[in-house]
């Protein structure tokens, strides 16, 4: 949308759309019939593969024009309602239904949608643009100004097509990225470009003043706790889960599921297979390094459920071959190394399916992360300390050379497993004690535990910075609620969902997230904490449901997570890449980081300080991004 039409904008719009061709390889279109606005879209055909799904899409009366990325899963029920109001449809997909719903019910239609979406709607009569983003932020949506033109896109690379925009680093976003490993809404890596926050809509007219409103928050659900017995609540949740999974299996292309063998993915797979007429496709990625390989657990679950299972072992050279294209894949810095196996397992699945379901969100909603319980226990111990002891520890612990001790362990002439045990039982515990004892609140301690580069270290790397996130304490509920809500609002959209979206859409694949159905999240945070965390740890109520379908012996084991042998790769296969990208002269010439801090971090890593693994990776990942985009 523009307040004055610059020359050459049509070509720029075409270029912006073409930059997103990977997100929609099946069709591409632009609409510019209004001199003050233009829309473009690339289409991944999943529902109604005919030309009836072509976008941008124009309403029956010609007033509204829509570009829509994502899926509204309950479109069939909405279609029935709209047909009763007199609307008629040409095709069988959800896009027509979404447009008709917005025409019939206005922006309030979004509250009826069950799905993931980023929507742009131009009203020719009112000369206003409406942007909508789904409740959890599954689908990305960036926006900003290029001179007199208001621009928006699913990825930053599309915005670079507009000639008047010069990319400049946002220093606060850069600090956020190195503190947490990702940049959450509303910031982006570039000054002047923002992300629309999940559960929000934006409206802007010819006056150029955007209005942003929140239409949903899971916090609203906390005000009405659920009542009922454990058996009743478990049955209610199972019904919701079945519906969420079945809705996300609707497609006119093949559908599969990522199966790790953990609680969440096993439950999603079990519910889908129970209600499917034929064996569903499941996919697992394994690793040649036994310490991080869980593929055998997934295979046993798949055999029990009777799925059509495909497993693939990722070799180090296959992941390393992706690194030169890391910056192209993630056009905003993200430092989660599991983006590598995520991309590769998605590529493998793409040989058989176009849509793949995953089980993200279960940890945040059902208290699955062990750190929640650990932090609460540590904070209780802190509260029970005599005041004199607490004061003494607060004075002494910051002065202990914990990081130096970590590096020293790496030089001890001990077997690797002994050094690992020393770090786990001595160094890690000392570091956690320091972070908990010296923190002003539980939320601050939680943030310190989560920080890739805590603020005190970040200042040495970037100069004067401050934490840009609200601590977990700002959220309501119990401490476990607060930490889960912090992750739901920060880590989930900023890291997990961004990683999955970029990896899947880069391959022309669609990822779907049944556990992020907003009805399930509202239900989860209204549950008593005891039903989320039980004797076996987190996800108590999910376990109860899963054990109906999969034997407990196949499921109960320590949570491992989607990890790769990053430290080993950095020390061996990537050593020369580190030398090149983190060379002191190159770092100094860029003027972004303190060269001395980068050199010290790299030296500590090579001396055996395991805490530096993620930091060194973050520096390398940023350099790969900078090389492509700055």
Strand partners, 314: 287
3-class secondary structure per residue, 283-320: EEEEECCHHHCCHHHHHHHHHHHCCEEEEEEECHHHHH
- Dump the DSSP string for 396-454: HGGGS-HHHHHHHHTTSSS-HHHHHHHIIIIIHHHHHHHHHHH-SSHHHHHHHHH-SS-
The answer to whether the annotation marks 402 as part of a ligand binding site is no
Contact assessment for residue 198 and residue 191, using Cβ atoms and an 8 Å cutoff? no
Give the residue among 268, 463, 255 at the shortest CA–CA distance from 361.
268
Residue 246 sits at the vertex; the CA angle it makes with 245 and 250, to the nearest 5 degrees, is: 115
Q: How many whole angstroms separate alpha carbon 449 and alpha carbon 22?
A: 37
Annotated ligand binding at 573? The verdict is no
Q: Which residues, other chains included, contact 432 with Cβ-Cβ below 8 Å and sequence gap of 6+? A: 374, 378, 449
Among all chains, which residue has been given the structure tokens 């000392």?
Answer: 430
Using alpha carbons only, what angle is made at residue 282 by residues 244 and 543, rounded to the nearest 5 degrees?
55
- Which two tokens mark 43? 């289409």
- Distance from C-alpha of 552 to C-alpha of 543, rounded to nearest angstrom: 8
Strand order in the sheet with 149-153: 149-153, 142-146, 193-195
* CA 123/CA 232 separation, integer angstroms: 46
Contacts of 547 (CB under 8 A, 6+ apart): 555
What residues are designated binding site for L-glutamine?
A: 94
* Binding-site residues: 94, 285
Binding residues for ATP, as ranges, are 285
């Amino acid at each position: 949308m523009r307040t004055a039409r610059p020359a050459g904008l049509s070509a720029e719009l075409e270029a912006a759309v073409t930059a997103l061709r990977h997100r929609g390889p099946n069709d591409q279109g632009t609409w510019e019939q209004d001199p003050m606005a233009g829309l473009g879209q690339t289409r991944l055909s999943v529902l109604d593969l005919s030309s009836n799904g072509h976008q941008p899409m124009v309403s029956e009366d010609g007033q509204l024009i829509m570009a829509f990325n994502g899926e509204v899963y309950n479109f069939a029920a909405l279609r029935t309602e709209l047909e009763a109001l007199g609307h008629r449809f040409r095709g069988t997909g959800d896009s027509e239904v979404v447009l008709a719903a917005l025409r019939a019910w206005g922006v309030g239609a979004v509250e009826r949608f069950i799905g993931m979406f980023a929507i742009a709607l131009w009203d020719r009569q009112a000369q206003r643009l409406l942007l909508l983003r789904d409740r959890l932020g599954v689908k990305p949506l960036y926006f900003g100004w290029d001179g007199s033109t208001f621009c928006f896109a699913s990825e930053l690379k599309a915005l670079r097509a507009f000639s008047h925009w010069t990319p400049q680093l946002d220093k606060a976003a850069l600090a956020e990225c190195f503190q947490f490993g990702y940049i959450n809404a509303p910031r982006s890596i570039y000054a002047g470009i923002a992300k629309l926050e999940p559960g929000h809509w934006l409206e802007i007219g010819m006056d150029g003043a955007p209005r942003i409103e929140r239409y949903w928050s899971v916090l609203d659900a906390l005000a009405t706790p659920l009542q009922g017995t454990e058996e009743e609540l478990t049955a209610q949740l199972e019904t919701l889960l079945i519906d969420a999974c079945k809705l996300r299996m609707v497609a006119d292309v093949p559908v599969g599921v990522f199966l790790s063998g953990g609680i969440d993915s096993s439950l999603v797979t079990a519910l889908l297979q129970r209600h499917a007429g034929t064996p569903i496709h499941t996919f697992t990625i394994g690793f040649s390094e036994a310490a991080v390989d869980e593929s055998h657990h997934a295979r046993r679950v798949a055999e029990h459920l009777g799925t059509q299972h495909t497993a693939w072992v990722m070799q180090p050279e296959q992941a390393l071959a992706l690194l030169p294209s890391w910056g192209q894949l993630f056009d905003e810095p993200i430092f989660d190394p599991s983006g590598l196996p995520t991309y590769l397992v998605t590529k493998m699945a793409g040989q058989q399916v176009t849509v793949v379901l995953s089980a993200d969100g279960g940890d945040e909603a059902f208290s699955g992360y062990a750190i929640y319980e650990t932090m609460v226990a540590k904070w209780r111990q802190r509260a029970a300390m005599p005041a004199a002891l607490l004061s003494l520890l607060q004075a002494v612990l910051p002065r202990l050379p914990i990081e130096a001790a970590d590096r020293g362990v790496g030089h001890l002439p001990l077997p690797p497993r002994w050094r690992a045990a020393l770090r786990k039982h001595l160094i890690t515990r000392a570091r956690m004690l320091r972070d908990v004892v010296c923190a002003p609140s539980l939320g601050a301690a939680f943030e310190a535990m989560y920080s890739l580069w805590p603020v005190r270290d970040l200042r040495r790397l970037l100069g004067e910075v401050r934490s840009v996130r609200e601590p977990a304490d700002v959220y309501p509920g119990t401490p476990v609620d607060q930490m889960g809500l912090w992750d739901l609002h920060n880590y989930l959209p900023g890291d997990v969902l961004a990683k999955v979206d970029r990896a899947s859409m880069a391959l022309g694949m669609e990822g779907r997230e049944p556990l992020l159905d907003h009805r399930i999240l509202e239900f989860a945070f209204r549950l008593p904490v005891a039903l989320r965390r039980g004797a076996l740890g987190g996800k108590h109520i999910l376990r109860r449901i899963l054990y109906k379908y999969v034997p407990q012996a196949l499921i109960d084991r320590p949570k491992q997570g989607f990890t790769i042998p990053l430290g080993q790769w950095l020390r061996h296969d990537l050593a020369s890449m580190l030398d090149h990208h983190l060379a002191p002269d190159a770092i100094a010439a860029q003027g972004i980081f303190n060269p001395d801090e980068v050199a010290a971090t790299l030296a500590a890593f090579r001396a055996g300080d395991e805490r530096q693994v993620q930091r060194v990776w973050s520096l390398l990942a940023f350099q790969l991004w900078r090389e492509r985009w700055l």
